[in-house]
Amino acid sequence: MRIDLVTAFPDLVQGPLEESIIKRAQDKELVRIIVHDLREFTTDKHHKVDDYPYGGGAGMVMKPEPFFRSLEQISASVEDSRNLKIIYMSPQGELFNQKMANELAHDEHLIFLCGHYKGIDERVVEEFVTDEISIGDYVLSGGELPALVVIDSVVRLIPGAISDMDSAATDSFQQDLLDCPYYTRPEEYRGLQVPEVLLSGHHENIRKWRREQSLNRTTSRRRDLLSNHRNKKNGFDRTEDEYNGQA
């Protein structure tokens, strides 16, 4: 996979891209992430990326020219630019979720545009953007953190990015369920015990306990997910009894 990220604030993203799973995925050449400094696509001596809004009013707007130039350069660097996914991180976009992360993880090339101030000149959106994604109903100062959120959730799903793919497959939302609780050594800490069943070595009982915890948590915290899970039948071998009184 290749990911291009276009931003006026490259320092905001460099640190997170050089740590943990995202770094390892790049080291293993599972993904190539290229950060483009929008200011390098300006032509004036002050490298201006924003200007006053037509029509007046508060706030600045990100100028179209640097975005046009950067996207044209990125398009020119690929063999076939017809199916590029160009994503504008925007509070007005589709609400991001695990299903979208799973879908994006199948794409070969993602391009993220990060806005700032009042946002990007709409002509960039009209001309290039294929998808608008929001990470939630709140407004951040820029698209850098939202883009990192999406990139992190997508990269960890690329086969090989995390050592055990089963771990990602059992995470919350993958089966429309919340994940179960986890414990590690020591068995007892300050009088707090690990549940007996997890120490039993009885795999079937452990699996059942985890599933029950997962269903209980989903019921008490996210009932909305549970009905989805039930409807899809997910290949999860639960019985109707398990749902009785829950869904």
Q: Is 90 in the site for ligand SAM (CB under 6 A)?
A: yes
Distance CA 59, CA 51 (A): 9
Return the number of the residue (7 or 218) whose C-beta is nearest ligand SAM.
7
Least distance (Å) between residue 93 CB and ligand SAM: 6
Q: Is 54 in the site for ligand SAM (CB under 6 A)?
A: no
Return the number of the residue (49 or 215) whose C-beta is nearest ligand SAM.
49
- Binding range to ligand SAM, per CB under 6 A, among 6-14, 89-97, 180-188, 203-211: 89-97
Residues 44-61: b if buried by 16+ CB within 10 A, e if exposed = eeeeebbeeeeeeeeeeb
Least distance (Å) between residue 28 CB and ligand SAM: 28
Q: Give 39's DSSP letter.
A: G
Residues 6+ apart with CB under 8 A from 117: 50, 59, 60, 61, 62
Among 14, 20, 92, 227, binds ligand SAM (CB under 6 A): 92
Closest C-alpha among 245, 77, 247 to residue 236: 247
Distance CA 146, CA 112 (A): 10
Among 33, 70, 143, 178, binds ligand SAM (CB under 6 A): 143
Task: Please give the residues from 95 up to 114 whose contact with ligand SAM meets the rule CB under 6 A.
Answer: 114
Count how many residues are written for the chain: 247
Among 89, 105, 110, 178, binds ligand SAM (CB under 6 A): 89
20-27 vs 144-155: helix axis angle to the nearest 10?
60
Task: Please give the residues from 151 up to 180 whose contact with ligand SAM meets the rule CB under 6 A.
Answer: none
Q: What are phi and psi of 180, to 5 degrees?
A: -80, 170
- Binding range to ligand SAM, per CB under 6 A, among 9-17, 139-147, 212-220, 237-245: 139-147
* Minimal CB distance residue for ligand SAM: 115
Contact footprint for ligand SAM (CB under 6 A): 89-92, 114-116, 118-120, 134-136, 138-143, 146
